[in-house]
Chain A
């Protein structure tokens, strides 16, 4: 049981994974502001994806996978909106109302027999071969976090020696887009 604000009870609410998306001015230090907010207030960054999405207005879209209770995620939302370069923020619970994608690149180095087996398995699992030499190949795999996890688990014993993964990207299904929500209580 909590005894003061230092121990707010978070047990009564369950901890869930969320994707938080922030649209920000692409200026110096903006990523540091966001990362600093997360570390300073004790929030978790599970993965991160950042890129400019609007060249004219200089807007970057930052996608952060995090976990916390509903209250914590609402607080993340409100704190992000307070940052000056942040234009709008959206949170996506991990459910089937949104699309989630992560990308993985995997390099295989093995004897030709194992390599062949690995290549076939990769193709069977819907990954694309991007580079090939007699001793190695690189496969690209696209899917949800869970799919990428299980893909890596399956192919790892077959000579996968280098794995690179992107942060998650997310987008709401249907025609809706995220509206400007600066200054509103969410």
Chain B
């Protein structure tokens, strides 16, 4: 192929007439491009590097473009859901939007889980779907579905394009909407005939994007009031979330400065991990259902709660009417609809985390220059209280001589990988919570997990996206044996593109979190939560062309993890762990933050009302 192209080029150079003909043609082309060409020109303008996709009848004109250009690389997944999660992993680890290209009908419906996942966790995605030709829409044509209707509630916005001249404008708007404000997924549905038609390309500079749709600048007087409340408080806590991560690495830096300047304790949601270094003394660990004892008690007893970029999710609040009952609450969020949705706040600031935090630091430094020193004494009693909670060591667990404890597996993985810049993705369940509890993230964008939707099968495709964005870095999907089977086909994608991702399975043969809930809330009725037949994961890896490693004994754990890290290929690490370990600490359903279960000896009756809750 390359040889042939070279020949053609020399031929062009030799023949001036031919060259001028080509030139004229190209000039015409710049005015009139096909719909598919317009899509790719627009994607190029937005600096797209990778498209995650799967071809099919209604997108073939666009797939023609993939082979005709070199700037954008297409990653062929094995299932459209995988394309969606891979795009999410790419987006969350790089800060750039993830791009999906799939066909009509089943192609589109298969992305719905990933779009919903991205919508819940505020991940910027641009999903382009093919649609049956315009004249067939509404006739129940082959592979037709109402894509915009189906994805309306799980995207920030979506479009069905009926005019080729609207494509460029729509793609530019799509990128704008996906990446600004609270980020999220958008979808563009393009009928096949529109992909073939010729139209005019407009660059993003020629498009007017409505400015009033931008978030209005945060109210400075409210920030001043917030700082005043901060200065006055004696039992304060920062409660930070994914908003800080989405605001970019600078926001995490600013948060670290604010936390240091104030001397306040800080806790984080699942999605906010990494904004504050996991081993920082002021960091109390994650809060919520499986959060630490010190974080949850501090939330319950504080007199000032400063929420930066979190949304008072039900996994965090527990029982709402007993949530942090004696505190004043400040809520900083970019999404006005998050404010007063679940917990009523005393002061709200709508704005980007970075802007608001930086403003707070400036006010603290200029207006309250001796705050740092005067404050230490004021909050010292609060800190000594926190230290007594800390002494409970709520994440401790009993080790076993013969069996690997799942917590131990994550802990060893952390210890052995902490020296290098490591990216962790997860599936959903007990392993996810253990990863959140025991893996201490030093930087933002290193932790990709499905929080809002809780999608089993997220971690493997997400790891593929992460590895593409960070080719030389170590990427580990901490998985469970049940979750991994939900998108195992993507291992084939990892092998095809030589992405050396590591799949670290905590294998206990149970859907661990389901089993735990059945034990605690359903009278140990372990209905359908045990997997009777599982594949041999080592052989499975080999069948796909990856490497399989199995560890069953605590003594061999470190050595095998090191072995895994040395392999420059995709690896499945089948870590066989104790089967019936529960994830603690835990706030049972219907309980407030200060009534946690710390371990198996601590279990108590859960009320009938509590059992009803999810």
Q: Which residues of A contact B (CB under 8 A)?
A: 1-9, 28-29, 32-33, 36-37, 40, 71, 74-75, 78-79, 81-84, 87, 180, 182-186
Contacts and interface: CB of A to CB of B under 8 A. Distances in A.
B468 to A, nearest CB: 30
Interface string B576-602: 000000000000011000000000000
Interface string B310-328: 0011100111110000000
A28 to B, nearest CB: 7
Nearest to A29: B148
B220 to A, nearest CB: 15
Given A5-B314, A6-B614, A185-B348, A32 B149 contact: yes
Nearest to B160: A28
B320 A183 contact: no
B152 A36 contact: yes
Interface string B117-154: 00000000000000000000000000000001100110
B546 interface: no
Interface of B: 148-149, 152-153, 156-157, 160, 177, 212-216, 312-314, 317-321, 335-337, 339-342, 344, 348, 350, 589-590, 609-610, 612-614
B213 A3 contact: no
A6 B613 contact: yes
A40 B152 CA distance: 11
Contact of B153 (A6, A36, A71, A183): A36
18 contacts: A3-B589, A3-B610, A4-B317, A4-B318, A4-B319, A4-B590, A5-B312, A5-B313, A5-B314, A6-B613, A32-B149, A33-B152, A74-B340, A78-B336, A78-B337, A82-B337, A183-B212, A185-B350
Given A3-B319, A7-B320, A81-B337, 4 more contacts: A4-B613, A29-B149, A183-B214, A184-B336
B22 to A, nearest CB: 41
A54 to B, nearest CB: 16
Given A3-B613, A28-B160, A183 B216 contact: yes
Contact of B216 (A82, A87, A184): A184
8 nearest interchain CB pairs?
A5-B314, A78-B337, A3-B590, A84-B157, A183-B216, A185-B336, A183-B215, A4-B613
Nearest to A83: B157
Contact of A40 (B153, B160, B212, B321): B153
A36 B150 CA distance: 11
Given A5-B313, A8-B342, A33-B152, A182 B321 contact: no
B582 to A, nearest CB: 20
A183 B152 contact: no
Nearest to B348: A185
A32 B157 CA distance: 12
Contacts of B335: 82
A183 B337 contact: no
Contacts of A29: 148-149, 152, 160
Contact of A9 (B177, B321, B609, B614): B321
A2 to B, nearest CB: 5
A90 B589 CA distance: 37
Contacts of A1: 321
Given A29-B148, A75-B337, A5 B609 contact: no
A83 B335 CA distance: 12
Nearest to A25: B210
A107 to B, nearest CB: 34
A32 B160 CA distance: 14
A37 B312 CA distance: 21
Nearest to B312: A5
Contacts of A8: 320, 342
**Interface core residue of A37, A183, A185 (most chain B CB under 10 Å):** A185
Nearest to A27: B159
Contacts of A186: 336
Contacts of A28: 160
Contacts of B149: 29, 32
Contacts of B153: 36-37, 40
A5 B342 contact: yes
A87 B213 CA distance: 8
B590 to A, nearest CB: 4
Contact of B321 (A2, A81, A87, A183): A2
Given A5-B313, A5-B314, A6-B614, A182 B213 contact: yes
A8 B344 CA distance: 11
Contacts of A79: 337
Given A6-B613, A182-B212, A184-B350, A32 B152 contact: yes
A140 B414 CA distance: 76
A29 B148 CA distance: 9
A75 B343 CA distance: 12
A2 B589 CA distance: 11
**Interface core residue of A6, A28, A32, A183 (most chain B CB under 10 Å):** A183
A13 to B, nearest CB: 11
